[in-house]
């Protein structure tokens, strides 16, 4: 069921509406990361002196430049873990475009879905963004002690978060919140596994930028499959 949903979503990547959401999600995520970096760099300049005095060596200048370049490397490293979760959160704003594209092509017999309001979509996205960033920043503290187990924690944690969020966003278009919660509980392991499938390519450059759209499309298929099977 999961792989059927995934390959159907993969087969629709050329859709114009899919490409638009990928582009917008990437631009918004990039803007947020650059904005965060600019604030972080400004904070460094405010809080650190440009010159320090070391015993024996004496005064050393240019600390702002050194710290600035160090912060660039830090931001590049953080973007590996945060770029796509941020893009995923922004994708929630454009959920309707992806889900509608999937349903128009594969489920034309369905009645129109009840779209999430802009305010609700934004609220869901902001909440998800906060949870994902907090979880991934917290995981950064644990990663140094895991060695080869780092990918497993990354996939498991982000798989759970992505599975829960994508399914909820898709299902809320056709079911009331109480039914969505019950359906999510009944299928929690399936949703976690599907989320882990989405989380696996998160660390692959370029490919990871497609994850948000693939996730929404895959979970749109998965929702309809589960619903038709009475799950």
- What is the per-residue pLDDT across 138-174, written as a single tens digit (0 to 9) for each? 877 787 787 888 888 888 888 888 888 889 888 988 8
- What is the per-residue pLDDT across 81-110, written as a single tens digit (0 to 9) for each? 565 556 556 666 677 788 889 999 999 998
Query: CA–CA separation, 19 vs 171, rounded Å?
Result: 23
Q: What is the dihedral of CA 133, 126, 17, 190, to 10 degrees?
A: 60
- What is the per-residue pLDDT across 109-139, written as a single tens digit (0 to 9) for each? 988 888 776 676 667 767 777 777 777 778 7
Q: Are 222 and 188 in contact (CB under 8 A)?
A: no
Residues 6+ apart with CB under 8 A from 44: 64, 67, 68, 71
pLDDT at 47: 63
Q: Are 121 and 95 in contact (CB under 8 A)?
A: yes
Domain ranges of the chain: 2-228
Distance of CA 75 to CAs 5, 13, 133, 138, Å? 34, 30, 14, 16
- What is the per-residue pLDDT across 11-31, written as a single tens digit (0 to 9) for each? 888 888 888 887 877 777 677
């Amino acid at each position: 069921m999961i792989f059927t949903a995934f390959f159907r979503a993969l087969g629709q990547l050329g859709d114009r509406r899919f490409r638009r959401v990928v582009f917008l999600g990437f631009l918004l995520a990039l803007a947020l990361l650059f904005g965060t970096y600019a604030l972080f760099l400004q904070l460094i300049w405010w809080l650190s002196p440009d010159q320090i005095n070391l015993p024996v060596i004496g005064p050393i200048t240019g600390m702002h430049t050194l710290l600035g370049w160090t912060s660039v490397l830090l931001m590049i490293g953080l973007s590996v873990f945060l770029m796509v979760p941020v893009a995923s959160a922004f994708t929630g704003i454009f959920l309707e475009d992806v889900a509608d594209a999937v349903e128009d092509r594969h489920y034309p017999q369905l009645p129109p879905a009840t779209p999430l309001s802009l305010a609700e979509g934004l609220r869901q996205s902001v909440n998800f963004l906060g949870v994902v960033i907090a979880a991934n920043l917290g995981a950064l503290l644990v990663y140094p002690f895991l060695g080869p187990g780092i990918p497993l924690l990354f996939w498991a944690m982000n798989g759970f978060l992505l599975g829960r969020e994508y399914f909820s966003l898709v299902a809320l278009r056709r079911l009331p919140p109480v039914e969505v919660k019950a359906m999510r509980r009944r299928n929690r392991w399936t949703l976690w596994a599907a989320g882990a499938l989405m989380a696996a390519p998160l660390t692959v450059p370029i490919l990871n930028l497609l994850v948000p759209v693939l996730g929404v499309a895959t979970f749109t298929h998965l929702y309809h499959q589960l619903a038709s099977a009475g799950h």
